[in-house]
C-alpha cells in the first residue's frame, strides 16, 4: 500500500479547518498542533512522552519547536529534552555564563538561521531557566547510519537512468492492462501526492469511482472530515455571529451569575490568545445553555458551526493519514478484476516504492512493507512478470537497465533504513534509562518524521502515553539540499574535534557555537 503523504502535512490542502488538538495538552496555535496521542491506550500510565516531529534545519520549524518546549516546560513542568542525533549530555547552559542575554541572542539567531543549531539548543541558550538536553543515540550505530545515507546518495545518481527505464516499463504495463477506473485512480494518487488536489477533493474523486465505501466505522477520521465539509458548505459565518449574540444577550446573560460570565470571558480570552482551541469557548456556551435549559435550534448556523468543531475534534491526524491510504487502497482493490491486473498492480507498487527509496523518502511503513514483500523488489521477479505479460499480450514491454547496479542500489538504500530502525530500538532504550535516572514522569523527544510512527508504537508497547506534536512550518526552497549540506558539515566537524570540549562524544550538536569568540 502506498503511503500517499506523511502525516506532518496531511491537512495542508484541506478545504476545511481541522483543529486536531488533544484534550490532554493544548499547544499554542502559533507554534504547532497535536497530530496524535495515545493517552486512551495507557490511561493509568505514569510516563508521558511529548514526541515533537523535527523538520531539520527549517528555520521557522526550529523557532516553533523552541516555543513548544517553552510551553511544555512552563505548563507541564517538562524540562528534560531528549534528542535524536545527540550523544549524552548536550546542554549549552554553561554558555549562559559567558555572554550577556543580548550577545547570546545575536549568536543564537545567527546559528539558528544557518542551521548550525537546533530549536532545542536555541531555547536552551535563551531560556531564563535551565533545561536538560540529552542525546539518546548510540554513536557507532549513528555513524553506520550516516555512512549508509552517504552511500545511498552516491548510488542514487548511478542508477537514475535505470530507475527511469523501470518507470517507463511500469507505465506501459498500466496503460495496456489497467481499466479506465484503475488509470483514473492512478492519476488521482499522483495528483494528490504532488499536492495538486486537496484531501477532500481526493476523497470525493475516489468516492465517485467506487461509491458508498467511506463508512464511519472503518474510517472515522475521514468520515468526520467529509461530514464537516458538507456542513461547512451550508454555513454562513455572519449568521453564526448574529446567533451567538442572540444566545448571549437574550438567553444567557439575563439568567447567569457574574461568576459564570467571568469564566466565559476568561475562556474567550484564552481562545483569542491561541492557548485554547475555539471549541472550548463553544463547549462553555453549550454548558451554560444547558444550565439555563435553553436548547439551540437545529436551524441555527451556530448549531452547525459547533457540530463542525466537534467533528474536527474527532479527527486524529495520524489516524487520518492511515485511513486515507487504506481507503485509497480499498478503492483500488475493488477496481482490480483479474490476475493480470493484480500482477501489474503489485509490480507498479514496488516500482513506486523504488522511486521513493532512491529519493530517501521512505517512512517506517514503507520499510515494513519491504520486509514483508522483499521478493517484490528483486529485478529477477520483475523480468519474470514482464515475460509472462508479454506472452499473454504479444506486446513488448522490456526495457534496458543494468540489473546488477539496480539491485545493488536497492540493497544499499535499504541498509540505510535498516540501520535507522536499529537506531529506534537504541533510542528507546536510552530514553527510558535517562527518564528513570532523572526520575522524570515526562519528557520531550525531538525526532525526525521517519522515526515517529515506529517510536510511538514502541513507547506505547511499554506503557507510555505519547503525544505527537508537529511544529508549524513553511517549506523552504532547496530545503533537502540545505539539510544535507548542514548535516555533512556538522558531522565532519564533530568527528574531527579534539579540543578537549568533549564535543566528539556529543555528535552533531553545537560544535560551532561553543567556539564562537563572542561567548
Tens of pLDDT, residues 203-251: 999 999 999 999 999 999 999 988 998 899 899 999 999 999 999 999 9
* 35/316 Cα distance (integer angstroms): 6
- pTM summary value: 0.74
Percent of the chain with pLDDT over 90: 46
pLDDT in tens, 12-48: 333 333 343 344 577 888 898 888 777 665 667 789 9
Q: Work out the number of other CB atoms within 10 angstroms of the CB of residue 327.
A: 21
Average pLDDT of the segment spanning 73-101: 86
Residue 65's pLDDT is what? 95
Report whether pLDDT(506) > 60.
Answer: no
Report whether pLDDT(111) > 70.
Answer: yes
Residue 360's pLDDT is what? 86
Residue 39's pLDDT is what? 61
Average pLDDT of the segment spanning 176-197: 92
* 259/338 Cα distance (integer angstroms): 68
For 20, the 3-state DSSP assignment is coil
412, three cell numbers: 544499499
Q: Residue 446: which pLDDT band, with cuts at 50, 70 and 90?
A: very high
Cβ–Cβ < 8 Å for 83, 509: yes
What's the DSSP call for residue 247? I
CA nearest neighbour of 443 among 53, 54, 76, 24: 76
CA nearest neighbour of 177 among 388, 408, 491, 369: 388
Residue 18's pLDDT is what? 38
Residues 6+ apart with CB under 8 A from 69: 52, 81, 119, 120, 123, 131, 444
Q: Is 394 exposed, middle or buried (0-12, 13-18, 19+ CB in 10 A)?
A: exposed
Q: Work out the number of other CB atoms within 10 angstroms of the CB of residue 250.
A: 11
Cβ–Cβ < 8 Å for 55, 473: yes
Instruction: Identify the top-confidence range among 229-238, 393-402, 429-438.
Output: 429-438
DSSP result, 361-410: ---HHHHHHHHHTGGGG-HHHHHHHHHHHHHHHS--------HHHHHHHH
195 compared with 440, residue with greater pLDDT? 440
Cβ–Cβ < 8 Å for 348, 183: no
Residue 400's pLDDT is what? 73
pLDDT in tens, 128-169: 888 999 999 999 999 999 899 888 888 888 888 888 988 999
Average pLDDT of the segment spanning 483-491: 59
Distance of CA 317 to the CA centre of its chain: 9
**Kind and range of the H or E element at 272?**
helix 258-273
Cβ–Cβ < 8 Å for 466, 49: yes
CA nearest neighbour of 190 among 170, 176, 219: 170
Report whether pLDDT(490) > 80.
Answer: no
What's the DSSP call for residue 417? H
Q: Is 445 exposed, middle or buried (0-12, 13-18, 19+ CB in 10 A)?
A: buried
For 259, the 3-state DSSP assignment is helix
Give ∠ CA 208-209-214 in degrees, rounded to 5. 65
Percent of the chain with pLDDT over 70: 85
**Sole residue written with cell 511499554:** 462
pLDDT in tens, 252-278: 999 999 999 999 999 998 888 766 778
Strands (E), 137-208: none
pLDDT in tens, 329-385: 999 999 999 999 999 999 999 999 999 898 888 888 889 889 998 988 888 888 888
Report whether pLDDT(483) > 70.
Answer: no
Report whether pLDDT(292) > 50.
Answer: yes
HEC per residue, 151-183: HHHHHHHHCHHHHHHHHHHHHHHHHHHCCHHHH
Torsion angle of the four alpha carbons 451, 454, 458, 463, in this order, in degrees rounded to the nearest 10: 100
Give ∠ CA 67-12-221 in degrees, rounded to 5. 100
164, three cell numbers: 527511469
Average pLDDT of the segment spanning 300-316: 90
Amino acid at each position: 500500500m502506498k503511503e500517499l503523504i506523511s502525516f506532518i502535512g496531511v491537512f495542508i490542502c484541506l478545504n476545511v479547518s481541522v483543529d486536531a488538538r488533544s484534550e490532554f495538552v493544548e499547544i499554542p496555535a502559533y507554534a504547532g498542533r497535536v497530530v496524535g496521542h495515545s493517552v486512551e491506550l495507557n490511561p493509568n500510565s505514569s510516563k508521558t512522552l511529548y514526541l515533537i516531529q523535527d523538520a531539520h534545519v527549517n528555520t521557522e520549524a526550529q523557532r516553533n519547536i523552541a516555543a513548544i518546549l517553552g510551553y511544555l516546560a512552563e505548563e507541564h513542568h517538562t524540562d528534560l529534552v531528549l534528542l535524536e542525533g545527540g550523544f549524552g549530555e548536550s546542554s549549552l547552559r554553561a554558555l549562559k555564563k559567558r555572554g550577556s542575554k543580548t550577545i547570546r541572542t545575536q549568536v543564537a539567531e545567527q546559528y539558528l538561521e544557518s542551521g548550525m543549531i537546533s530549536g532545542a539548543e536555541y531555547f536552551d541558550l535563551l531560556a531564563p531557566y535551565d533545561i536538560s538536553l540529552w542525546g539518546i543515540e548510540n554513536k557507532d550505530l549513528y555513524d553506520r547510519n550516516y555512512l549508509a545515507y552517504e552511500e545511498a546518495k552516491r548510488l542514487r545518481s548511478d542508477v537514475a537512468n535505470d530507475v527511469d527505464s523501470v518507470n517507463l516499463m511500469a507505465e506501459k504495463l498500466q496503460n495496456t492492462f489497467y481499466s479506465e477506473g484503475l488509470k483514473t485512480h492512478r492519476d488521482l494518487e499522483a495528483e494528490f501526492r504532488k499536492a495538486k488536489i486537496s484531501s477532500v477533493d481526493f476523497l470525493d474523486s475516489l468516492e465517485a469511482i467506487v461509491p458508498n465505501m467511506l463508512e464511519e466505522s472503518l474510517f472515522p477520521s475521514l468520515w468526520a472530515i467529509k461530514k464537516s465539509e458538507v456542513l461547512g458548505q451550508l454555513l454562513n459565518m455572519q449568521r453564526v455571529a448574529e446567533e451567538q449574540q442572540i444566545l448571549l444577550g437574550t438567553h444567557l446573560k439575563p439568567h447567569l451569575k457574574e461568576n459564570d460570565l467571568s469564566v466565559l470571558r476568561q475562556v474567550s480570552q484564552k481562545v483569542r490568545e491561541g492557548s485554547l482551541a475555539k471549541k472550548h469557548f463553544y463547549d462553555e456556551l453549550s454548558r451554560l445553555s444547558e444550565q439555563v435549559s435553553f436548547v439551540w435550534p437545529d436551524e441555527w448556523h451556530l448549531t452547525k458551526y459547533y457540530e463542525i468543531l466537534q467533528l474536527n475534534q474527532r479527527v486524529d491526524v495520524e489516524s487520518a493519514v492511515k485511513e486515507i491510504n487504506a481507503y485509497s487502497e480499498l478503492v483500488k482493490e475493488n477496481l482490480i478484476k483479474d490476475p493480470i491486473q493484480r500482477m501489474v498492480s503489485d509490480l507498479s507498487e514496488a516500482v513506486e516504492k523504488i522511486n521513493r527509496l532512491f529519493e530517501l523518502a521512505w517512512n517506517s511503513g514503507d520499510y515494513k512493507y519491504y520486509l514483508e514483500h522483499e521478493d517484490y523488489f528483486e529485478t529477477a521477479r520483475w523480468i519474470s512478470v514482464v515475460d509472462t505479460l508479454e506472452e499473454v499480450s504479444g506486446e513488448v514491454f522490456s526495457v534496458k537497465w543494468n540489473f546488477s547496479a539496480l539491485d545493488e542500489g536497492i540493497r544499499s538504500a535499504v541498509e540505510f533504513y535498516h540501520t535507522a530502525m536499529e537506531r529506534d530500538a537504541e533510542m528507546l532504550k536510552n530514553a527510558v534509562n535517562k527518564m528513570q535516572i532523572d526520575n522524570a514522569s515526562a519528557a520531550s523527544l525531538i525526532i525526525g518524521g521517519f522515526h515517529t510512527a515506529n517510536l510511538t508504537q514502541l513507547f506505547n508497547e511499554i506503557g507510555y502515553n505519547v503525544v505527537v506534536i508537529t511544529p508549524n512550518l513553511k517549506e523552504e526552497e532547496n530545503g533537502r539540499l540545505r539539510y544535507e549540506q548542514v548535516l555533512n558539515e556538522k558531522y565532519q566537524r564533530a568527528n574531527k574535534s579534539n579540543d578537549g570540549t568533549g564535543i566528539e562524544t556529543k555528535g552533531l550538536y553545537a560544535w560551532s557555537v561553543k567556539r564562537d569568540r563572542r561567548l
